[in-house]
Structure 1
Amino acid sequence: MRLNQREKIKLAKKEYKKFKFGDPIFVGKKLIGYVSEVHNKWWTGENSYVITNKQLPKHPTSKDYKNVDRVTVLYRGSTTLIDWANNIDFGFAAFNPIINSTGIFYNNLIPPQFRSSYETLNNAMNKYGNARFEVYGHSLGSMDGQFAVANLSEKQMKRLSGAYLYEGPNIFSSLSLGQMMNVFKHKSKIFNIIDSKDIVVFGYFNDLLAVGTVMHINSKSMHDVISQHMWGGYQYDKNGNIKLVPENQLQIGMLNLNLLKDKLSKGGLSKSDKIYLDSAAAVILADNIKTYVDESMDSLIKDLNGYISEAEDLWKDTKRRARGMGQDLSEDDIMNTLRQVNATKSEFVTKVIEYYQDKIKKAEQVKSDYSDISTNIKKGVQAKLETDQELARSFNLL
């Protein structure tokens, strides 16, 4: 079941809904699966759902479990202040790695909710032995997810399709060395998506020292703490992808490419591998350049249209003032007077519109030119893929 990033967020929001065993979970018209486990562990604070792509009976057999091939785990964020009070010390360890190096936080202050969340994921992986997994979490649920995936074994990591963790503090510095190495090795599977305008997000001093690949969104200000935290500032493109800050978008693409390069190079890079990596790099750069140009030109066009509106408003205001000062004059006399000082609609509006529309046309042409460049690069890569099936199979990994 392929979901775009906007749909993934819609799925993550389901963690705050109330479901019972057997309930179907939809994102739009897409059936994700059925609720097979509901965890409301008041003694640890964990609230989560385990969703399987196959509907299970109330008393499933081992055969029923084996028939499940896709599982989604949703970790709910905080619903009370008590949730944060019981877990915040571990999150604040991210601010003080020197203190954390003593092992105080890791050995003694792992919140029960984090241990419980890992147990939920671990037990589900053992129970649904043929399934691939996706993990979602928001806020405190993001911290649950970070800790849960950090504890997975190498064998379990191979069955993790992806972890999508939103708006939670970074717990990387609070992990053991082994857990740090685990999440660093599997950065390309774990996505830590954050809005820098959200006050709940902290501990992200260095994106390399974080659980997974950090995605900094290009957010709008909601002027409301709750809305900002609950995905309110997120913006999307026409394909449902989250808009990231431009430098982060390119950084993520190249990071994942380098990780894939390391994976391929373990067996020695073949000619096909080298062509693939070059082609993938070209596509990533082309996409990011196009995105940057589109956003820059759209912003410029918006400003230019604003100048046109200001010119029209200025002409209206000039006529209004002239009428106020020449109340005994006819409309023609007022216009003739303005014309004598070169205050005409042609000077105030028409010439301004012509000037800025010319700039708008050039900006749109720049967008079109870069779109053509990006399209031609992709066509060149596609032509190569059509003649090299091995390369085509590798390219689908990106």
Structure 2
Amino acid sequence: MNAQYALASISSSDADRVYGYVYQGPNIYEVLTPEQKRQADYLTEEYRLLNYIDSKDLVAIGYGEGKKAVGQIVYPLSERLGLRRTIDQHMWGGYQFEEDGALLTTNGSGTVLAEYQRRLKKRSIASIKGEWSGQTGGMSATKEVYLDAVQAKSIVSGMKTVIDEKITELMTVYQTGIDQANQLWQDTIANARSYGSNLTEMEQLEALEQGGVTRQHVLIEPVIDYEAALNQLRSIKSSYEDLIYQINQTIDQQIQLDSELASQFKKGTF
């Protein structure tokens, strides 16, 4: 919350130096002065400030549809932990992560993160390009290919963030469908046993089949469809990861072709 106040209070001349992250504080936007609101709006609209908010956490109050905030809102994907009757989740306990440690998001936050990374990389590339262009002899062909590859990686990586979020949401839907199909068949069998207690198990299944209710129709066919959709989503995700890997390989090759590039990377300039 203090970080929100501080960032909304800096001078306009310093605004373009800001890249900020704030986390899990109440929304203070409505109590800011008009001048602070203008500053906060600028940082938000220019994607210079990200505000991570878990709506399941009791602390993060004052956010919602149509409400302005200090920074672009990012919603982490989290599970309800049920810490107490009135608290679903607090801090990092229920957050969901990719295998590589990347935080999963929801509610369209992938698009926000992609745009943030795109703008950040665009400014960085423009700065590097200006520096290289001013050098004696201008910019080498290797460096031009390198910058193109970095820009391509920025775009593809940003899209991967969006795709990962959508795939995670769809996987949850399909997995829920599989769980519900299993539960529906179990409930169907339980009801058949209850209402047909004077029948054998085979007679109960035959009675269900006469009514058009079979294990094949209720459970097997829906699960096959859901699992096929899940496999397709996994394939899409894998293809994107392969594309990013190939772009990274191109970047590495260009670094090795240009001694100055290689030297700057060794020094940690990039």
Q: TM-score, normalised by structure 1?
A: 0.49
Alignment correspondent of 1:222: 56
Task: Say if 1:242 and 1:326 are closer, same or farther in 2 by CA, change over 3 A.
Answer: closer
Match of 2:5, SS? coil
Counterpart position of 2:14: 182
Q: Name the structure 2 match of 1:386.
A: 256
Do 1:304 and 1:360's aligned partners in 2 also have CA atoms closer than 8 Å?
yes
Equivalent residues of 1:220, 1:233 under 8 A apart: no
Q: Is there any run of 5+ residues in structure 2 with no aligned partner, and where?
A: 30-36, 61-86
Separation in structure 2 between the aligned mates of residue 238 and residue 307 of structure 1, nearest angstrom: 24
Q: How far apart in 1 are the matches of 2:170 and 2:102? A: 22
Equivalent residues in 2 for 1:323-334, closer than 5 Å: 323-334=193-204
Q: Does structure 1 retain, via aligned residues, the 8 Å contact 2:185–2:218?
A: yes
Alignment partner for residue 206 of structure 1, among 42, 51, 57?
42
Shift of 1:375: 1.1
Q: Which residue of 2 aligns with 1:348?
A: 218
CA distance change for structure 1 residues 251 and 358 in 2, over 3 Å: closer, same or farther?
A: closer
Structure with the bigger percentage of helix: 2
What is the CA deviation profile of residues 267-307 of structure 1, one whole-angstrom value per residue up to 9, with x for unaligned ones?
A: 63623553333222111122222222222222212211111
Root-mean-square deviation over aligned CA pairs? 3.2
Provide TM-score, normalisation by structure 2: 0.69
Matching residue's letter, 1:372: D
Q: 2:115 matched to 1:246?
A: no
Structure 1 Cα separation of the partners of residues 103 and 233 of structure 2: 24
**Could you tell me which of 12, 17, 20 is aligned with 1:191?**
20
Give the paired residue count. 223
2:163 corresponds to:
293
What SS does structure 1 have at the residue aligned with 2:56? coil
> Mapping of 1:232-271 within 5 angstroms?
236-242=97-103, 245-264=109-128, 265=130, 268=134, 270-271=139-140
Gaps of 5+ in 1: 1-138, 143-167
Letter in 2 for 1:206: Y
Between the two proteins, what is the percent identity of the paired residues? 22
Q: Take 1:325 and 1:242, find their aligned partners in 2: how far apart are those partners?
A: 49
- Which segment drifts farther, 239-248 or 314-323? 239-248
Larger Rg computed on CA atoms = 1
Asked if 1 retains the 8 angstrom alpha-carbon contact of 2:115 and 2:158, the reply is no
Shift of 1:236: 4.9
Q: Distance in 1 between matches of 2:262 and 2:221?
A: 54
Decide which moves more: 257-266 or 304-313.
Answer: 257-266
